[in-house]
Amino acid sequence: MTQVEQLSDFVVRATYENLSNGASQELKIRVLDALGCAIGALDGPPIKMLQAQLEDFGGNPLVTLIGGGKTAPDRAALYNSALVRYLDYNDSYLAKGETCHPSDNLGAVLAASEYARGNGKDFLTALAVAYQVQCRLSDVAPVRARGFDHTTQGAYGQALQLERPGLSQHSFRRHPRGLSCHAWDYRSARGLRGKQRLHGEHRRSFRN
């Protein structure tokens, strides 16, 4: 299988039941930590400007905004992600050649899970997939030395979490670029070329 096929196979096979107890517990801690960062950022000037933009542009009120209100899923993902990130206190993953902030994925996962009417297990599994993909790509395919920001790997994680069976069976496929790009469009990205195989390594947080 190609590396892209290995990634997709990992995502489709990932289930809550295969999530280790330690990983599940740590994810819950990260969610609480990220929500604390988000609440602390509610009065931030850039957040207020983004909030004003959302109010000006409008949006179908389908998904909850942290702090109150609802808007369209893509806009909720942007707003909630900005809240988590603004104070720069959210979690960090220190790979050998890269540093990333995997809780940057929370806003997109929250929006996708609520829109798809997912339950808590769907949410945690999707978040685990996003964390695992972003952190593992940071390990084996660092891109900062090539002039790209570490959020590049986050784009893969956020796109792939939408392919979880509990979420993708909903109507995302009608609007595939609303919350994510096609991760497969980037399969030729230089950061992935010539890197070691990913398949088995992705399962660190999951039971075999």
CB 159 within 8 A of CB 183: yes
Instruction: Quickly count helices (H) and strands (E) in the chain.
Output: 8, 4
At which residue do the structure tokens 């050649």 appear?
A: 97
Q: Say which DSSP state 19 is in.
A: B
What number of residues does the chain have?
Answer: 208
pLDDT of residue 187: 30
Neighbours of 93 (CB within 10 A): 18
Q: Average pLDDT over the chain, rounded to whole?
A: 82
pTM for the whole thing? 0.79
Q: Which domains does the chain have, with CATH numbers?
A: 3-205 (1.10.4100.10)
d(C-alpha 145, C-alpha 151), whole Å: 13
List pLDDT tens digits, range 72-127: 999 999 999 999 999 999 999 999 888 899 999 999 999 999 999 999 999 999 99
List pLDDT tens digits, range 146-173: 999 888 899 888 888 877 655 554 444 4
